[in-house]
Structures are given as structure tokens and as C-alpha cells.
Amino acid sequence: MATSNIHTHHDAHAHDTHEEHEHHHGNFWTTYIFSEDHKVIAKQFLITGIFWALLGGTLSVIFRLQLGFPDMSLEWLRPVLGGWITAQGKLDPEFYLALVTMHGTIMVFFVLTAGLSGTFSNFLIPLQIGARDMASGFMNMLSYWFFFVSSVLMFISLFLSTGPAAGGWTIYPPLSALPQAIKGSGTGMTLWLVAMAIFIASSLLGSINYISTVINMRTRGMSFTRLPLTIWAFFFTAIIGILSFPVLFAAALLLIFDRSFGTSFYLSDIYIGGEALAHDGGSPVLFQHLFWFLGHPEVYIVLLPALGLSSEIIATNSRKPIFGYKAMIGSMLFIAILSFIVWAHHMFVTGMNPFLGSIFMLLTLIIAVPSAVKIFNYVTTLWKGNLRFTPAMLFSIGLVSFFLTGGITGIFLGNSAVDIQLHDTYFVVAHFHLVMGSASFFGMMAGVYHWFPKMFGRMMNATLGYIHFWLTFVGVYLVFFPMHYIGIKGFPRRYYTWTNFDFAQGFTDLNMLVSIAAILTLASQFIFLFNFFYSMFRGKLAPANPWDATTLEWTTPRNPGHGNWPGEIPHVYRWPYDYSKPGAKEDFIPQHIPYSETPESNFPHENDLIKLETSNGEGAIVVEDKH
């Protein structure tokens, strides 16, 4: 925790006088393992998330080998997969489903929910609102360790002899309820459910913390309308999480009852394995309603933080205020609300009442409006900017591109009449991998590149970042764009092979291209991994504010200690997007600079605010936070 390379005079001074107060010296365990410091917890989430992302990506490459090269012998995977490679050197069809299931579960929950929100909500909320830490450091620590336990259980399930859960990441019963229907619904499914229950507890602990921190612990002057869009995004995300995750918990609990205690919430009229089951009166469609009541908001739990991160990064690197700050907040709020009333668009052809289908279609297509507003605002932010293509900026632009490409296909799928044909085909796979998977992943990458200097006090290598971006950006498009064609043709998803069907012939070339692109994309992530770990120890020392950004985290020392700011917490006098203000000396004015210091660039209404600054500003510093 030593702050050995301080560059600015201010920081060096702070270092001398406040170190005793700010550094609570703990041992290795309390500092790095059971830490209550939000920054350490954020890094724990990040590292765990990276581990899961690699695993999830590897699983997808294994099943892409099967889909792209159906004739290839996978004998060479036997040392790893053992009995899951059949005597003919093929992937076991049931294990194929297990791979698909675990890929989805891992990516959606463990990488893009915990890895993304867990990392950046934890890291940025206190730093950007000007707080010493989260509202409850202890709960925050619990949140990570619940996630850790959940991760361990999910990981163990991969090694069961009956395999992990294999009924799709949506675990629809009866398939997920009946071990006689698929092996993965035995112990693998039990572990899945227990792991997810613990995961939900972790997510709730985190969300409660994020919300209370944002509401209660903003520094003086940091009104809600001066919050960076990142914080708004994390705030909405946490609210969505609190309202929707308990419903998944209920769904999982009832499924556990059905599986283990003979209840019939989801089961009815089942004849399997030579016997008619006693379960009667349940409805599999009930589970789908409960699942998607979480499942759809979950899409925005994954996406909103990424949009928040990229808003911040695009504004900073365009050297321009984000266009339509309030419209951006409004559209996120609108998306957050709508996300709760569109869930049944996943269920147009499940036998649900068609009238319900028409309502959900209407509500679903409305969500395209705030999404379109966001895209237009991003593009307008670029207009007449002064664009610096840092790796973070590249990934943010990539996000906007994916959000556009993938969002547009949502207009097809949200239309129930069109969805009849497209449902559960590769068109859907292309859609959500672009709009939710890749966009969020790119948001996460952008965040890592942008805030790495604050996390580890060193810079990542930019050139490797550019190479990583271009390989990944092109790779992702090569993986998911061709899937649209495959989907229009009607290829169903979760198929081990399409050879049984005449209508699903052809496209061996495209499928091969997709698989090769997937392998290369995964391989290029190792460039990132190298850059990440190498720069952590050997990267160039980071200046205090490497991106000339306005937000508060860049006013901390290079390696902020426990408590974040050595002295008082800075006060906030202006919104976070004063980039390239007319008349200003530099092309950015940080949030903690009072209007009284920038008379040359103030707008008339801002000059009026100067009085307020002096009337309570100076006095407040004395009162503020002496401990």
C-alpha cells in the first residue's frame, strides 16, 4: 500500500501528513483476502470474473469445434474430458448440452453480472461519488465471499460423473426437474440451484450496498444531477437486481421443492422412463414466467453498467460533454422500468395466451425507443469531438457498434408474428450475443483499460490494447454476424448436429468460419491477459490523471489507500462533463474545481453559483470528516 511514486506536489504533501490516519495496516489476510476495502473487493471480483470468462470462453470453443468441424476427431481432448469423448472420438451429445448450458450460466451470471457489476460498481461508486468506502464494508466482503462459494460449487459441478446441469441456462422444467430425462439434471442441477441461490444472496448484498452508498454517501456538492453516468447506471442496475433476483430465487426454490420434496409447482401429466409420475397440476410455463421475470431485467443488469462505463469513456476521450446527459439518465430509467414488463417476449410460442403475447410485443418494441436515443446520443457525442482512440475508447466504440447491430435484430424478435419463425434459431443466438454478450463484454474491457491506472497505479500497454481490440472486434463480428443467415434459414439452436434435417443443410462453410473466428477471438484474449498481469507489475507508472478526466477518482493518489483520499474528500462544484468548455484554459475542468476559479469559462447561471460556493464551501471543509 506504499504510495512510493507520487508525482504532484499536492499528493506528496498529503502522503506525508496523512499516512498514519489513512493506512490501517492489516496483515495479508485482512488486506487481500477478507478485505473490506471496496477497491480490493472490486479486484477480487475482477480476477474471479476473468477466470470465469476464460473458462466460459473455452467451453464455447469446445462446442464450436463440434459445430464447425463435425467430422473432426476430438480424441485429443480425452485427457481433459475423459468419458465425455465417445469411443468414436466424438463429443458426447449430452455433454454438448452441458457445455452450452454452463457457457450460458457462466457468461451471464458469473462474468457479466458478478464480474462486471461486482468490479466496477464496487470500484467506482465510492471513488466517483467521493466516499471513503461502501456503506457497509462487511456486507461488501460477504458479497464477494458468497460469490466465491457459489463459484466453487458451480465449478465443482463441472467435474461430476453425471456432468453439470445440461438443460440450457434457462433450466426449464420438467427437463431440469427430472434426472431420468437427462443426466445433468441429477447432482449437477442440484449444485446449479444451490450455487445460484448463494449467487443471488451475493448479488443482493452487493446491490443493497451500492444503493445505500449512492444515496447516502455522496460528497458535499455531489447532487444526483452531478453524478457521472457510470454511477447512474450502477444505481439503476442495483435497483433492478434487488427487484428481480428474488424472483429467480423463488423460481429456484420451487424447483428444488419439485425435485426433492415431491411438490408439483411445475410438473404435471408426465410419463417418463416407463412410468407415469404422480406430479399433477403444475405448470412448466409458470417457471418460465418466473425465470424471465428475472431473466429479462438480467439483460439490463448486464448491459446498463457497460453503457454507463462507455458513456463516461466516450465523453472523456471525445473531449466533449456526453450529449444529452439528462436524456441518457431518462432513457436508462425508462429502460429499467420497461425491463420488468417485457419478460414474456421470450415466451411467444410457449402456449401462453396469445393476447398476453400482443401486450408484451407492444411493450417490448417500446423499449427500442430509449435504446435508439442512447445510440443517437453516443454518435452525437462523437460529432465535432476531438477523439483520442485509447484502448478503452476503442472498446466503447465497439460496444456502441454491437449495441446497434444486435439491438436492431431485437425489433424482429420482439415482433411476435415474426418471432414465430425466428424463436430458438441461430438468429436469436446472434441477437443476444451481440447486444448483450459482446456489448457488455466490450463495456467491461473498456472499463478495465480505462480504470486500470487507478486500480493498479500503472498503465497498460496501449499497443497491445489496440491489437487486442482489433482482433476481438473483428473476431466477434465474424462469430456472430454469420449466425443471422444461419438463423433466417431456420437452424435451431442447441443442436448437436444438423445432419438429420434436409432443411438445415449447407452453411458448413459459415459454421466453420464461425468456429475458427471463435478460436482466434479466444486466443487473442491472451494478449489482454498478458498485458493485464504484466502491466500490473511492470507497466509504466500512471500519472494522477492519465486521461485528463473530470471525475473525482482521478483526484486520489496514484495508489489510493484505505479511505481513498489522504486528506479531506474533495467537494464537488460542477457536473462531470465540463470538457472543452468555451473559454477554459484546458479542455477539461474536473468536478472539484469551483466556479470561482474558472471565471473565464463560466456560463451566466454558473456565475450565480459562485456565491453558494463561498457561503458554505470554506466552512464545510473544516467540519468535514476529521477522524
Partner 1 sequence: MMSLIIFIGVVLVLVILFLIFRVSNLVGIAKGKEEEKGGTWNKVNAALFVVFSVAGLIWFFWYSFAHFDEYTLPIASEHGKRTDTLFWVTMWITVVAFVIISLVMFAFIFQYQYDPKRKAKFFPDNHYLELTWTIIPAIVLSVLIFTGLRAWNDITAPASKDAEVIEVIGQQFAWTCRYPGVKDNELGKVNYKLIDNVGNEFGLDLADKKTFDDFKSLELHLPVGKEVLLKIRAKDVLHSVFLPHFRVKMDAVPGMPTHFKFKVTKTTQQMRDETGNPNFNYELACTEICGQGHFSMRMPVVVEEEEAYERWKASQETWLKQNPDYLKQVPANLREAAMIKAGLEKDPGTSVAAVNE
Q: Number of residues in contact with partner 1, rule: CB under 8 A?
A: 118
Q: Which stretch binds partner 1 (CB under 8 A): 21-29, 55-63, 336-344, 496-504?
A: 496-504
Least gap, CB of 167 to partner 1 (angstroms):
6
Beta carbon of residue 516, minimum distance to partner 1 (angstroms, whole number): 16
Q: Which of 217, 338, 397, 435 binds partner 1 (CB under 8 A)?
A: 397
Rank residues 14 and 342 by Cβ distance to partner 1 and give the closer one: 342
User: Minimum CB separation from partner 1 for residue 360, in Å?
Assistant: 11
Residue 372 binds partner 1 (CB under 8 A): yes
Residues 286-325 that bind partner 1 (CB under 8 A): 318-325
Residue 498 Cβ vs partner 1, minimum distance, rounded to whole Å: 7
Least separation in angstroms between residue 373's CB and partner 1 is 6
Site for partner 1 in 219-258 (CB under 8 A): none
Residue 375 binding partner 1, by CB under 8 A: yes
Give the number of other Cβ atoms within 10 Å of residue 67's Cβ. 21
Pick 243 or 349: Cβ nearer partner 1: 349
Neighbours of 553 (CB within 10 A): 21
How far, in Å, CA of 316 to CA of 547, rounded?
7
Under DSSP, the state recorded for 181 is T
**H-run or E-run covering 276:** strand 275-276
- The correct pick among 243, 327, 333, 620 for binding partner 1 (CB under 8 A) is 327
Closer of 382 and 620 to partner 1 (Cβ):
382
Min dist. Cβ of residue 506 to partner 1 (A): 6
Three-class SS of residue 579? strand
* CA pair distance 307, 320, nearest whole angstrom: 17
What single-letter DSSP state applies at residue 555?
G
Max CA pair span of the chain = 84
Listed in sequence order, the residues at least 6 apart from 64 whose beta carbon sits closer than 8 Å to its beta carbon are: 514, 515, 518, 519
Residue type, 398: G
Among 162, 212, 263, 380, contact with partner 1 (rule: CB under 8 A) = 380
CA dist., res. 545 & res. 427, Å (int): 43
Among 178, 205, 231, 549, binds partner 1 (CB under 8 A): 178
Q: Per CB under 8 A, which of residues 583..612 are in contact with partner 1?
A: 587
Listed ranges 127-135, 188-196, 197-205, 389-397: which one lies at the site for partner 1 (CB under 8 A): 389-397
Binding mask 426-465 for partner 1 (x = CB under 8 A): -----------------------------------xxxx-
CA distance 515 to 74: 15
Smallest gap, in angstroms, from Cβ of residue 485 to partner 1? 4
Cβ 254 to partner 1 shortest distance, Å: 15
In the complex with partner 1, which residue's Cβ is closer, 243 or 527? 527
Q: Which one among 160, 349, 541, 609 touches partner 1, defined by CB under 8 A?
A: 349
Task: Look at residue 4 and give its three-state secondary structure.
Answer: coil
Minimum distance between the CB of residue 504 and partner 1, rounded to whole angstroms?
Answer: 8
Tell me the per-residue interface mask from 267 to 286 with partner 1, x by CB under 8 A, - otherwise: xxxxxx-x-x----xxxxx-
DSSP codes of every residue in 82-149:
GGGB-TTS-B-HHHHHHHHHHHHHIIIIIIIIIIIIIHHHHHHHHHHHT-SS-S-HHHHHHHHHHHHH
Closest separation in Å from C-beta 378 to partner 1: 8
Q: Is 33 in the site for partner 1 (CB under 8 A)?
A: no
Which cell is 621 given? Answer: 471543509
CB nearer to partner 1: pick between 340 and 412: 412
Neighbours of 577 (CB within 10 A): 25
Question: Cell 479466444 maps to which residue?
Answer: 522
Could you give the CA distance from residue 483 to residue 406 in angstroms, rounded to a whole number?
A: 12
CA distance 246 to 201: 9
User: For residues 37 and 556, what is the distance between their CA atoms, to the nearest angstrom?
Assistant: 15
Q: Which long-range contacts (CB under 8 A, 24 or more apart) does 181-186 make?
A: 181/272, 182/94, 182/97, 183/94, 184/94, 184/97, 184/98, 184/101, 186/160, 186/162
Choose which of 44, 425, 440, 591 interacts with partner 1 (CB under 8 A): 425
Task: Please pick, from the candidates 474, 541, 544, 609, the single residue that binds partner 1 as defined by CB under 8 A.
Answer: 474
Among 262, 351, 599, 619, binds partner 1 (CB under 8 A): 351
Of residues 36 through 95, those in contact with partner 1 by CB under 8 A are 93-94
Least distance (Å) from partner 1 to the CB of residue 63? 12
Contact 532, 449 (CB under 8 A): no
Helix (H, G, I), strand (E, B) or coil at 525: helix
Residue 604 makes CB contacts below 8 A (sequence gap 6+) with: none
Binding-site string for partner 1 from residue 509 to residue 548, where x marks contact by CB under 8 A and - marks none = ----------------------------------------
Q: Residue 601's CB: how many other CB atoms inside 10 A?
A: 16
Q: Which is nearer to partner 1, 150 or 176 (CB)?
A: 176
